[in-house]
Structure formats: C-alpha cells, structure tokens
C-alpha cells in the first residue's frame, strides 16, 4: 500500500469530556469493536486494578490515573483508528490541551443528566479555536436527564456552535424506549440487553404497542419539529468545526454506541494538510514530517528516560530513519521508537500521516519541535500557550541547593511541564498551571530528578491577562491584580477574580488586557 492510501485510512481523534461523563466506558466499547480488548474494564486501573502491568510514574499509580495522555490504535473496517486519550481526571494538565493539536477530530461526551460542565467547556474552546471538527455524544440516556431540546440549546448557546441531531431519544430513564435514527430513517428499540433491534420507519405501523406510548408520540412530535426547522445537514460545516452532529445514547448499556461509532468514523476526517513555515504540507507527500506535542519523562523510572510524542503529519516514518530537527538544523537518527497500545508499548517500525509515535529523547527535543526528512527545514506552527489558572510561588527549602533548583525549573519549564513567571518586586518564581496535577508532577520530578525539595505558597486561582503595552505603571497594581512577567518579559496581571478584573478595566480603560485564547 502506498503512502497516500495509508494516510487515507487514518482516523485520529481525541475524546473530550468532564470527569464521570463516561469517557472510559465509551472508549472501552470502541476498543471492543476494534478487537483490542476482550472485556470491558481493562482500560483504566481506576476500576479494574489491572494497571500494575505498566510502568508509569509512581504518581500515576498512586492516584490511579493517567498523568499523560496515552494513545490507542486499532483496525476497524479497513480504517486505522488512533484514539488519543486525554486525562479524564479533574486536574488535567497542559498536555491535555496540547493533545488536541495532534488530532484531526474530536468526540465530545456530555452527560445528559448534567449538560455542559467546566472541563468540557475548556477543552471545547481549544477545538473551536483550531477549527477541529467536533462530534457530540450525549450519554446516560438510561437515566432521567435534561430535555433533549434544552441540551441542544445549551450546546448552541454556551459553545457557540450549531447542532444537528443525528438521532432522537424516545423517552429516557425508566421510560426509555430507544432512539430514532434520523440518518437511516429507522427506529432502534432499546431491549435492555446489548441487542439493538432496528425497525424501518415504514414498518413502525405494525408496532402499535410502541407507537401508542406517550413517549413515542411525544418524540414523533419533536422529530417533526426538528424536520420542520429544516436545517439541512451540512458536512462542510462539520469539517469547518461550525456544526456538531449530535448523537444520543448510553455508553454503559451500551446503546446507540456502535451506530454512533460507525456514523462518526464514516464522517471523521482523514489527516489534512497542515501549515508549516507559511506553506501547507500535504499529508501524502513522500518526505516524512511531524511535530512533538508532548514530552514525557520518567516513563520508566529504572532508566529515567524521556519519550517525545510525535504526530506524523506527512510521508512515511521508518525506524532508523535520519531526520532534521528544524529548530537547530541538527541531524538525528531515530532508532528507538514506540507505539502505544492501551497500556503496553511496542517497538514501532513504520508510521504514516495521522499516526502518533514515541521516540527516545536524549534531552534535545522541545515541545513544538518539527522533525523533517531530507534537507527541507520547515517548521509546523507553534503550539499555542494555554493560559494557566492556578499560580503558586515556589522556593527551595535548602538554599544550598539553589543551583539545582534553578536548573530543574529551567528544564521543566522548557519541557512544557509548567509555566514560569517572575514577580517584579523580589524576582520570585511564580509557576502557573492549568491543573493541580501539574504541581504534583513538578514537585515529584524536582525531588526525584534534581534532588531538590521545594516549598509552595499558593496564590490561588487567578485570571491572567496580558497587558498590551510596553510601559507599565507599577503603582496601578496590587495584590488583587498581581503584576508579573512571563518568560519573554511580557507583562501580565493575575487578577484575583472576575470582580477585580472588571474593577480594573473600569478604572483603567486605556490599558488593553488580552486573554491568550483571543490572541491565537
């Protein structure tokens, strides 16, 4: 098979959701379809206790969560599926965000009893910003949840994206009868077991016991409303990330999951051309290229090694291949490779656009680095910096270890594990993160890799805003609008809350404040 055909088979996506919405449960069903696992309950140790086989960091084991996103891949009906896991735990990290730069589409799971929750919203924003196609699965239909119309409206209003209901629930909770599949014009009856009985629309008349029910009558009227609203399904709008196809179902039952997966996989985009140094690089071009979106240290504590995760963007990767690191122009032979299948890692011999590979990092790579085969040295667009939300002052416990302390911080910041700021007055180190987990990993690694004990002093959740000015009058800022500098010496203010942010804006309308999300 040639490079183009291999590339066209790739479907690379991530699943985003708020903790407990059902990501693990849904992922397991996908892996069952892909014959990657035989029993549900094997994906995460949280539930099955089977985590011990892998050699993740201690901290991962202690907390029973996956600190860094892993990658799963399998063949499904002639396609090569790559699922990038995003940590489902509440305290996710910047890696979760960065993972979204490495996928071609996203599945968003919403708990139908809760609607849109905080983490979904954050991750969604990144997808929207990058124009990634988003498919929505509204889960837990077997429980009494929110009204389906209200859920659609919530998605449209809060996320600013159009919706198209691909199917429609008939009842919910104890009164759940099934779903009407608008795509294939058929009803799928919920039988309470895994068998999904499909009844074509024309044959529904013979099912009087069903169509006479209150739930069915109500759903029929609702579907009529949807049809009358008459918005046509627009695949182009889906590809642009402007419209999300919405599916209702239950990951646990499971119900509506396989039809969802089939519909999704048929529409999910193959790898698309990506911008590098102002040009579009075609995924089917001969020469390999890719970028590093994550670096994971200490995957194997015995070896203290580091693995860089590369998203292949074009061509064919072969183990032992020589590539150029675009940032430095240095030639590197890539001999040690890994592919990730659930919790095991295998040596990988070749990969194509859309695939994710792990390469050994002898401490030369940085997040965002481009690797290219041949003499071209274009670079893929820089990964966005994600605004941190939690901030802590950090100091070294034993001042005799100041040198290691600085070295450790410098390296971990460069690696993208954490973001560094300096306060103006005393030049203190302030580190920012998007989740508590990043602090735990930071502390663990400072301890284990640099032999430094650190002391944190929390300054709490903050709203960072960059100041669009060179001249800053320090007197305007105080504890509620803490003035700091980032690594590039840009000024930013860390506001204590929405109130202090608004107060500042009202008081100093001439100072332009930027939210990084808007800049990118």
Cβ proximity to ligand GDP: between 122 and 392 the closer is 122
Size of the site for ligand GDP (CB under 6 A): 17
| 435 annotated as belonging to a binding site for a ligand | no
| 23 annotated as belonging to a binding site for a ligand | yes
Helix, strand or coil, per DSSP, at residue 495: strand
Q: Using CA atoms of 468, 425, 451, 304 in order, give the dihedral in degrees to the nearest 10.
A: 10
Cβ partners under 8 Å of residue 263, min gap 6: 166, 183, 245, 247
Helix, strand or coil, per DSSP, at residue 276: strand
* Residue 216: count of CB within 10 angstroms of its CB: 20
Q: Contacts with ligand GDP in 18-47 (CB under 6 A)?
A: 19-25
Nearest-approach distance from CB 44 to ligand GDP, in angstroms: 7
Give the DSSP letter string of 30-47.
HHHHTTS-SSTT-S-HHH
Nearest-approach distance from CB 99 to ligand GDP, in angstroms: 15
Give the DSSP letter string of 5-36.
HHHHHEEEEEEE--TTSSHHHHHHHHHHHTTS
Candidates 210, 223, 252, 332; binder of ligand GDP (CB under 6 A) is 252
Cβ proximity to ligand GDP: between 39 and 426 the closer is 39
Q: From residue 399, how far is each of 44, 420, 455 by CA, in Å?
A: 41, 20, 11
Nearest-approach distance from CB 66 to ligand GDP, in angstroms: 10
Helix, strand or coil, per DSSP, at residue 216: helix
Give Dmax over CA atoms of the chain in angstroms. Answer: 83
Does 96 interact with ligand GDP (rule: CB under 6 A)?
A: no
Interacting span for ligand GDP (CB under 6 A) from 52-60, 248-256, 277-285, 349-357: 248-256
Candidates 16, 188, 251, 299; binder of ligand GDP (CB under 6 A) is 251
Given a contact cutoff of 8 angstroms between Cβ atoms, the answer to whether 83 and 15 are in contact is yes
Cβ proximity to ligand GDP: between 43 and 367 the closer is 43
| 141 annotated as belonging to a binding site for a ligand | yes
| 142 annotated as belonging to a binding site for a ligand | yes
Nearest-approach distance from CB 86 to ligand GDP, in angstroms: 10
Per-residue contact flags (x/-) with ligand GDP for residues 117 to 156, judged by CB under 6 A: ----------------------xx-xx-------------
Cβ partners under 8 Å of residue 257, min gap 6: 26, 29, 249, 250, 251
Candidates 3, 13, 16, 17; binder of ligand GDP (CB under 6 A) is 17
Binding site for ligand GDP (CB under 6 A): 17, 19-25, 88, 139-140, 142-143, 250-253
Residue numbers belonging to the annotated binding site for GTP: 17-24, 85-89, 139-142
């Amino acid at each position: 098979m040639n490079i183009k055909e291999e590339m066209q088979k790739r479907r690379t996506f991530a699943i985003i959701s708020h903790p407990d919405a059902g990501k693990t449960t849904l992922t397991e069903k996908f892996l069952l379809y892909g014959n990657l696992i035989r029993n549900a309950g094997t994906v995460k140790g949280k539930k099955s206790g089977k985590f011990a086989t892998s050699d993740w960091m201690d901290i991962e084991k202690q907390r029973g969560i996956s600190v860094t996103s892993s990658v799963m891949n399998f063949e499904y009906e002639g396609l090569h599926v790559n699922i990038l896991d995003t940590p489902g735990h509440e305290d996710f990290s910047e890696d979760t965000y960065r993972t979204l730069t490495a996928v071609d589409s996203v599945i968003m799971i919403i708990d139908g009893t809760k609607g849109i929750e905080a983490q979904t919203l954050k991750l969604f924003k990144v997808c929207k910003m990058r124009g990634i196609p988003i498919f929505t699965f509204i889960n837990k239909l077997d429980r009494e949840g929110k009204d389906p119309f209200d859920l659609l409206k919530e998605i449209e209003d809060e996320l600013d994206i159009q919706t198209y209901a691909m199917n429609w629930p008939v009842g919910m909770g104890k009164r759940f009868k099934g779903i009407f599949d608008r795509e294939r014009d058929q009803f799928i009856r919920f039988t309470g077991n895994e068998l999904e009985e499909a009844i074509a629309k024309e044959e529904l008349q013979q099912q009087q016991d069903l169509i006479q029910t209150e739930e069915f009558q109500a759903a029929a009227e609702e579907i009529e409303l949807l049809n009358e609203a008459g918005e046509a399904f627009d695949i182009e709008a889906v590809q642009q990330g402007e419209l999300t196809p919405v599916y209702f179902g239950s990951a646990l039952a499971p119900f509506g999951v396989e039809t969802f997966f089939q519909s999704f996989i048929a529409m999910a985009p193959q790898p698309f051309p990506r911008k590098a140094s102002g040009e579009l690089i075609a995924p089917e071009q001969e020469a390999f290229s890719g970028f590093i979106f994550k670096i994971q240290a200490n995957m194997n504590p015995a070896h203290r090694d580091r693995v860089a995760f590369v998203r292949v963007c074009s061509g064919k990767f072969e183990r032992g291949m020589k590539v150029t690191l675009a940032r430095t122009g240095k030639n590197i032979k890539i001999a040690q490779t890994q592919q990730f299948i659930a919790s095991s890692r295998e040596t990988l011999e070749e990969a194509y656009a859309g695939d994710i590979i792990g390469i050994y990092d002898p401490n030369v790579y940085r997040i965002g680095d481009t690797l290219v085969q041949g003499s071209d040295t274009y670079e893929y667009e820089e990964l966005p910096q994600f605004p941190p939300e939690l901030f802590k002052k950090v100091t070294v416990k034993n001042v005799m270890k100041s040198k290691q302390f600085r070295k450790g911080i410098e390296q971990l910041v460069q690696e993208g594990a954490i973001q560094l700021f300096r306060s103006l007055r005393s030049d203190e180190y302030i580190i920012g993160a998007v989740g508590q987990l990043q602090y735990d990993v930071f502390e663990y690694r400072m301890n284990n890799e640099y032999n430094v004990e650190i002391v944190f002093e929390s300054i709490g959740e903050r709203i960072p805003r960059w100041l669009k000015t060179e001249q800053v009058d320090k007197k305007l800022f105080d504890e509620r609008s803490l003035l700091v500098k980032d690594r590039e010496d840009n000024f930013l203010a860390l506001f204590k809350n929405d109130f202090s942010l608004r107060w500042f804006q009202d008081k100093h309308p001439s100072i332009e404040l930027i939210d990084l999300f808007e800049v990118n």
